[in-house]
Amino acid sequence: MKEFNAHEKESYLLIKKLIEDNGYKMTYQRREILSQFIINKNNHLSAEKVYDMLKDNGIGISTVYRNINIFVDLDILKEFRVDNKSYYELKMYARKPLHIHLQCEKCGKIKDIVDKEIILNYLKINNLIEKNYNIEIDDVDIMFHGLCNNCTKKYI
């Protein structure tokens, strides 16, 4: 396992406490799986990708799936689906009023789209929807499909 920087270590210790407070032990396998999400916090990982990164450490695919499901149940990981495939990210980094992704149709990468103006405009729409329909919206995920900036450059 790669050494954590100070921020990553703080995240790890918070999540470790949450896991242990819910009656689970922080096993070697859980630590290794969790560290992939902490170290790759700007990426969206599938269970298969996590397995590929950890198979040389003796961690099987069923162990990866089982622990990812535990992390989702404990609200540590957020799951979202793209084309019938599940991807995961640490929920502590996904807590935004609006979570926008772009899936590149060419290379398959998933990018976060974070833009203050877009979020502010969305919040106006969100408030209007809540008011007009007398509902409360907790979370919104938007998935755009198109070309990322790297693949767009290849066509220019």
Binding site residues for Zn(2+), as ranges?
104, 107, 148, 151
For 23-88, the DSSP string reads T----HHHHHHHHHHHHTTTS-B-HHHHHHHHGGGT--HHHHHHHHHHHHHTTSEEEEEETTEEEE
Q: Which residues are annotated as a binding site?
A: 104, 107, 148, 151
Closest by CA position to 72, among listed 47, 41, 103, 109: 47
Question: No. of H helices and E strands in the chain?
Answer: 7, 5
Neighbours of 34 (CB within 10 A): 24
